[in-house]
């Protein structure tokens, strides 16, 4: 169903807000993350930096309830339509990780910060 | 602005329909593809299978006019809001590459085919 072998065991997964259509984030899944996501209905990714499963929201509480799952034509990318608990998917406190717009060589913050990362993540 | 080094020179780029919010496809960009995309306002990707720049629509005519460009919090993923010429982003003739839905262990085609790939791509 998913071609995990093509790129060394990980495929990109895009999370989109099921109600608004906002693209919230892109993360990675290995087979284990994929199977747990499908089985539990909660988004589980694989953290490349921590080299382990990342149950989205396990620290912040901002879990993603998965409403619909799609695979692309090449079976190497996943699209999740999710309900984002807490409203913010990004660890920096924004609704979407794509809160910076690039135009004319400039980068501008366009999103609104919904929470203060220092209050949510003890390490930050 | 973009961290191309993190994952060996390529970053994922998500293309979203600027009007409807439909996630059309995910492809890859190297630095050259990124720079040409930003400079020309047309989506240019890097084809991993062909190992060269892929000017989206160069064969099918279904180019993507880029309306807005975003980068994510880690500066390693790109989001393009595009106007999809021809209505279909997928080489299989669907509006979106994510035309297959996964539910209950079954995969179902949910998109509508807008063109016949055999008529558009001579090689198919």
Edge-to-edge strand list for the sheet holding A106-109: A106-109, A100-103, B64-71, B78-84, B11-17, B23-29
pLDDT value at position A123? 56
Q: For every one of its 124 residues, what pLDDT tens digit does chain A have, with 9 covering 90 and above?
A: 899 998 789 999 999 999 999 999 999 999 999 999 999 999 999 999 999 999 999 988 999 999 999 999 999 999 999 999 999 999 999 999 999 999 999 999 998 899 999 888 865 4
| Total-model pTM | 0.95
The DSSP call for residue A7 is: T
Q: Please report the ipTM that was assigned to this predicted complex.
A: 0.95
**Is the distance from CB of A23 to CB of B22 less than 8 angstroms?**
no
Residue B83 in contact with partner chain A when CB distance is under 8 A: no
Residue B117 in contact with partner chain A when CB distance is under 8 A: no
Q: Which residues of A touch B99 (CB under 8 A)?
A: 70, 73
- Cα diameter, chain A: 44
Query: Which pLDDT band, with edges at 50, 70 and 90, does B106 fall under?
Result: very high
């Amino acid at each position: 169903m998913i071609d995990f072998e093509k790129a060394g065991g990980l495929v990109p997964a895009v999370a989109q807000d099921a109600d608004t259509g906002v693209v919230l984030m892109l993360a990675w899944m290995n087979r284990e993350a994929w199977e747990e996501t499908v089985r539990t209905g909660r988004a589980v990714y694989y953290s490349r930096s921590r080299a382990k499963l990342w149950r989205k929201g396990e620290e912040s509480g901002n879990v993603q309830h998965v409403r619909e799952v799609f695979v692309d034509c090449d079976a190497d990318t996943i699209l999740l339509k999710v309900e984002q608990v807490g409203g913010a998917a990004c660890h920096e406190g924004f609704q979407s990780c794509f809160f910076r717009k690039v135009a004319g060589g400039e980068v501008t913050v366009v999103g609104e910060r919904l929470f203060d990362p220092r209050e949510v993540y003890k390490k930050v």
